Amino acid sequence: MDRGQAANIGGMDRQTLRDWVHRFNASGPDGLLDHWSSGPRRRLSPSQLGELAAIVEAGPDREVDGVVRWRRVDLKRAIADRFGVDFHERYVGTLLKRLGFSHISACPRHPAQDVEIVEAYKKLPARLNVHLADPPGDAAIEIWFQDEARIGQKNGLVRQWARRGSRPRQPADRRYENAYLFGAICPARGVGAALALPFAGAEAMQLHLDEISRHVAEGAHAVLVLDRAGWHTTAKLDMPANVTPILPPSRAPELNPVENVWRYLRANWLSNRVFETYDDIIDAARQARPNLIAQPETITSIEMRKWAHVGQTL
């Protein structure tokens, strides 16, 4: 019979029947088995992918590459020059994600920072006996981080979801009324202590120290990491008995993870809005604090640092 009749008997179209005949003639019954394609051959070998990852991590040479950060279009040219492979710019992004990279903001570092001092400071848990002038005996040690942030009418705008190609608009005030949010976090316990105050200074800092002291676990001792602001180091402060301050190295703000908390608060509750009065600012700060405190797992995820984990008593 002809091909059309045979295809009708088999319940298939003529082209499928033709393909089956050619596969049977070439390989016998095994030719009729399904063979799944492994996909297109990778254009970069594993060693070349490793070399590309090293290039991305090292960053561009400004004199040679002409840029201060890698963009996909820059890496597209670098791949073509180094490996002779011309990828589409979009695929370069896919390739970077496959190699474990993400497009993220850089952490600022002071150009005069002493890296060795910073690394030595990160051995904090092992050196607590040195920092604590009067070790608290068998008391459990909690590590707290403290900082202040200005919240005011001159507010910021943050990213939001919007339709591609659009330009969303948000209110932005340019007046200067503001307040200060004093915050402290204990990542291990997922708790915090905060005050919204009209000023920043020794008197305000004393109020916050007393507030932190009330939130330290019963029978525990708090090691409070805070920067070298004048109202942190003044002799006018009366340090609570269950709190010992520790000052990180100069020019190393990244050692204080409360900076990340401020970004989280602004991004979720404080930005993209206008405060008509000072009382509105205070109300916003008071609302943001319990919102964060109600998410202990978020506090821990934002604040926890491996180098600042204490799992023992002194």
The answer on 250 and 211 residing in a single domain is: yes
Report the pLDDT value the prediction gives residue 201, as an integer from 0 to 100: 94
Does 127 lie in the same domain as 93?
A: no
How open is the CA angle 197-236-150, to the nearest 5 degrees?
25
- Which residues fall within 8 angstroms of residue 126, CB to CB, at 6 or more apart? none
Q: How far apart are CA 95 and CA 89, in angstroms?
A: 10
Cα distance between residue 243 and residue 239, in whole Å:
7
Ramachandran quadrant class, 137 (left: phi over 0; alpha: psi -120 to 50; beta: rest):
left
Clarify whether residues 121 and 237 are in a common domain. Answer: yes
Residue 39 in any domain: the answer is no
The verdict on 94 and 209 lying in the same domain is no
Q: Are residues 28 and 52 in the same domain?
A: no
Quick check: 196 and 296 in contact, CB under 8 A?
Answer: no
Structural domain range at position 92: 46-98
- Same domain assignment for residues 285 and 248: yes
Please tell me the distance from the alpha carbon of residue 136 to that of residue 291, in angstroms, as a whole number. 33
Contacts of 172 (CB under 8 A, 6+ apart): 155, 157, 274
Residue 145 lies in a domain: yes
Task: Determine phi and psi for 85, rounding to 5 degrees.
Answer: -120, 130
Q: In whole angstroms, what is the distance from residue 232 CA to residue 243 CA? A: 13
Radius of gyration of the chain measured on its C-alpha atoms? 30
pLDDT by position in tens, the chain (length 314): 888 888 998 889 999 999 999 999 999 999 888 878 777 788 999 999 999 999 999 999 988 888 889 999 999 999 999 999 999 999 999 999 999 999 887 767 777 788 788 777 777 766 666 666 565 666 788 889 999 988 876 767 667 777 777 778 777 766 778 889 999 989 888 888 999 888 899 999 999 999 999 999 998 999 999 999 999 999 999 999 999 998 888 888 778 888 888 888 888 888 878 888 888 888 888 888 788 888 888 888 876 777 666 544 33
User: Inter-axis angle of helices 278-293 and 258-265, to 10 degrees?
Assistant: 120
- Same domain for 284 and 217: yes
Whole-prediction pTM = 0.62
> What is the CB neighbour count within 10 angstroms for residue 241?
9
Question: Which pLDDT does position 277 carry in this prediction?
Answer: 86
| Residues sharing a CB contact under 8 Å with residue 72, sequence separation 6 or more, in sequence order | 89, 90, 92, 93, 96
Tokens of 272: 């993209």
Place of tokens 């002809």: 2
Asked if residue 82 and residue 140 are part of one domain, the reply reads no
